[in-house]
Amino acid sequence: MKNKKTKRITLIIPVETEKENKTYVVHYRKNTGEDIRISIPSLKQSIDETKKLKTPSNYIIYIEENGRRIKRQDREIIENSNKWRSRPIDETEIIGELMMIYRATKY
């Protein structure tokens, strides 16, 4: 008796699912402590908007997808610094007016 080798065939059948409508919100906090939310239709536009908001007058920016935070960026809290860093979304944040730290330089 000869051994017959069998071959496996995998069939992929596409299943149509209900498309999820994603909503994006850019949430940022000004140095005065004021929270502002902007609704934006797409993730790419949200990322472009965060680039515009990275100024010394703001200190925290979030992108939310369907009410869930997916990206967070914080600015250094040294006066007039414009260095932004990505931070974990659940890290402790400063709420309210930002107290500025002034850098002393030696001449």
Q: What is the pLDDT of residues 28-62, one digit of tens each?
A: 999 888 999 999 999 999 999 999 999 989 999 99
Ordered strands of the 68-75 beta sheet: 35-40, 24-30, 58-65, 68-75, 84-86
DSSP alpha helices (H): ranges in the chain?
43-53
Residue 19: predicted pLDDT: 59
Q: Summarize pLDDT for 2-26 with one digit per residue, the tens.
A: 566 767 777 676 665 555 788 999 9
Q: Tokens 């934006």 belong to which residue?
A: 40
pLDDT digits (tens, 9 = 90+) for 60-104: 999 999 999 999 999 987 777 889 999 998 888 877 777 766 666
- Those residues whose C-beta lies under 8 Å from the C-beta of residue 72, and which sit 6 or more positions away, are 60, 61, 62, 86, 87, 88, 89, 91
The per-residue pLDDT for 96 is: 73
